Structure 1
Amino acid sequence: MTTTPTPRRWPTSFADRLTAPLPGPRQLLRALREGAFRASTAEADHIPVRRDGALPTLSPGTASVTWVGHATFALRLGGACVLTDPVWSGRIPGVPRRITPPGLAWSALPRVDAVVISHNHYDHMDAPTLRRLPRDTPVLVPAGLGEWFRKRGFTAVVELDWWETAEVAGLRFDFVPVHHWSRRTLFDTCRSLWGGWVVTAPGGPRLFHAGDSGYGPYFAEIGQRHPGIDVAMLPVGAYHPRWFMKAVHMDPDEAVRAAEDVGARRMATMHWGTFVLSGEPLLDPVLRARAAWEKAGREREDLWDLAVGETRVVNGRKR
């Protein structure tokens, strides 16, 4: 079992890590006046949902990627199960109820060997879901966020800065920078860090979960430092209006560029089809991702535009 080391001292703010100014009150008021976050849910019934009820058996050296919804995946590699930004709740603060169910029942999960959190926004760090975990579950979190978990009784908290590495459950976890921000309350903007996770099984697959991000040069650096990514899980939704969202949320065309930048063999779409966070039509993120993937000359089978609940198996490169 991973044990929690003595908490590290972190800066009181990570605002110096921002790569673009955040929208201010004027921009927010303008967006609200324009109804920028009120997308129609008329297409919700067309979002594909596949709930097979069980995860497949894996052969040695392979991995599986199951999209539970939004930024939540159940990853199995190296004999371990890892949850990314787990959200099983039907509602999160500030937005309407989720429009598709979780793609995997909580009861269908194997033992969870590790949880990775990209940042503290409610659609990525859901307290009711986290309360369902045994308190000795290893949780890997950004710098400045460990205390939130320790106060709630978690005993195996790993807190990392960008480009730092930890080994948990026989896997290597690298915390990498992305173009985003953090806030949980009105008074803690950028008090904790944000980022993505590269998860590598010894001698097996390497997976990248970007959490949430705008487009920018960090992706190329991630690819240089962590070559051979088999699957990049990249956000394609919550991008409209562009004048408001561009600094912190990629659009689908940018997500495809990011997949190219990190050198990923495959791209799995996420951050769409679960919560209505912005103004684009519900199906546009995945439709635009398909068009951008084709325009980039990539093989159609390497775009994993998963249905909610769908699992794909990764035959990783030898390392």
Structure 2
Amino acid sequence: MPWTNPYFDRSKEHHTPEGFRNLEPEIRPPGGLKRWRKERKEQQLPRPPEAGYEAFARRWCQAADVSGNQDAAWWLGHATVLVRHQGLTVLTDPVLGQRASPLSFAGPARRTMTPVDVAGLPAIDVVVISHNHYDHLDSATVHALARRFPQAVFLVPLGLKRWFDKAGIGNVRELDWWASTEVRGAMFTFVPARHWSARTLWDRNRSLWGGWVMDHQGFRFWFAGDTGYSDKLAEIGRRAGPIDLAAIPIGAYAPRWFMQGQHVDPAQAVQLHRDVGCKRSIAIHWGVFELADDQLDEPPRLLGEALAEAGLTEDDFMLLNIGGRIAL
């Protein structure tokens, strides 16, 4: 029998009987994946960073010092951000393994160091997951977190709790877009993103995708997850803002004809920062895995150009080292 969406609510535009969908039109051309893979191989993309991988890693990586109890945010590479605010510690999309893949010997490999392992993390209260792609939901990392921090609450998109149930991981809450839940005095709201989901060839868009807004004692943090650009996302600022700190992706955007519906480029990331009304943002989703055709060192350069054109500074939209931190 064909699979039917057990969460289907015909009153919600992003629900379908078969799963979930974006509110924006699909812009990927038919056969696009095959064409992209062919062009990528012919053009030998992605190319190494201009100064090579070792020099890139020396420039952009450091060990993460997560000691102490001060309010701070750390970028731990790719989409993994650690936020500590007034005694509450939150971790986003934890991927601390060596590959973004279901296989240990194949798939996108980490090009830069892991700045801290699970054993080196402080006590985690909440783990938020944006969607089920392997570069955002890493089975080994999630299992290690659940073992070390059994009281941690995992917040996941609608339809993803069954994956955690099968993995034997408890303390899981799944939310639809614009639904909220309270954990230790903080309110977490699952907000839209323009993306998609799948972990196999047979489960495309059967679980939802999105970002998270944490509101804790008047401090609001928006984790955008993975997203293409949409002016509809400005609603996040209107409904859940103002946003004190955001984590917005800037990498894995090339070629635009194939990636624009799922990943913003640096200029669009700056536009999202402005659309949503973020006071400060951290650039994420670059510098670790080569998931698209852009060179690892291209996103920070283009972000600088986009900020200058928008009249913003690096203090408005920050480039941290992998393992780097900012005080809150």
Q: Same fold (TM over 0.5)?
A: yes
Q: Distance in 2 between matches of 1:145 and 1:237?
A: 25
CA RMSD of aligned residues (A): 1.9
CA distance in 1, matches of 2:30, 2:107: 19
2:18 corresponds, among 13, 17, 42, to: 13
Higher relative contact order (CA 8 A, sep 6+): 1
Aligned to 1:214: 228
Query: Match for residue 307 of structure 2?
Result: 293
Which residue matches 1:67?
A: 75
Alignment match, 1:156? 171
Distance apart, 1:136 and its partner CA = 4.2
Deviations 1:127-169 (A, max 9, x none): 0101102354210000011111112222211110000100112
What letter is aligned with 2:284?
M
SS state at 2:203 partner? coil
Match 1:251 to one of 265, 268, 288 = 265
* SS of 1:69 mapped into structure 2: coil
Deviation at 1:259, TM superposition (A): 0.4
Partner AA of 1:20 in structure 2: P
Identity of paired residues, percent? 40
Secondary structure class of the residue paired with 1:102: coil
Amino acid at match of 1:69: G
Superposition deviation, residue 102 in structure 1: 1.7
In the aligned structure 1, how far is the partner of 2:170 from the partner of 2:241?
33
Instruction: Look up the match of 1:185.
Output: 200
Question: How far off its partner does 1:24 sit?
Answer: 5.8
Match of 1:140?
Answer: 155
> Which shows bigger deviation, 262-271 or 29-38?
29-38
Aligned-pair CA distance for 1:56: 4.4
Deviates more, 1:16-25 or 1:262-271: 16-25
3-state SS in 2 of match to 1:17: coil
Mapping of residues 34-113 of structure 1, within 5 Å:
34-35=39-40, 38-42=45-49, 43-44=52-53, 45-47=55-57, 48-58=60-70, 63-93=71-101, 95-113=107-125
Secondary structure, aligned partner of 1:21: coil
CA gap of 1:148–1:52, structure 2 versus 1, over 3 A, is: closer
1:49 and 1:309 in contact (8 A); partners too: yes
Is 2:183 aligned against 1:171? no
Amino acid at match of 1:41: P
Q: Aligned match of 1:29 in 26, 30, 34? A: 34
* Deviates most, 291-300 or 259-268: 291-300
1:13 Cα offset (Å):
3.1
Quote the residue 1:317 is aligned against. none
Counterpart check, 1:306 vs 2:316 = no
Paired residues, number: 302
For residues 18 and 55 of structure 1, the distance between their equivalents in structure 2, rounded to whole angstroms, comes to: 42
- Unpaired runs of 5+ residues, structure 1, are 1-7, 315-319
Partners of 1:139 and 1:19 lie apart in 2 by 28
Question: For 1:152 and 1:251, how far apart are their aligned partners in 2?
Answer: 34
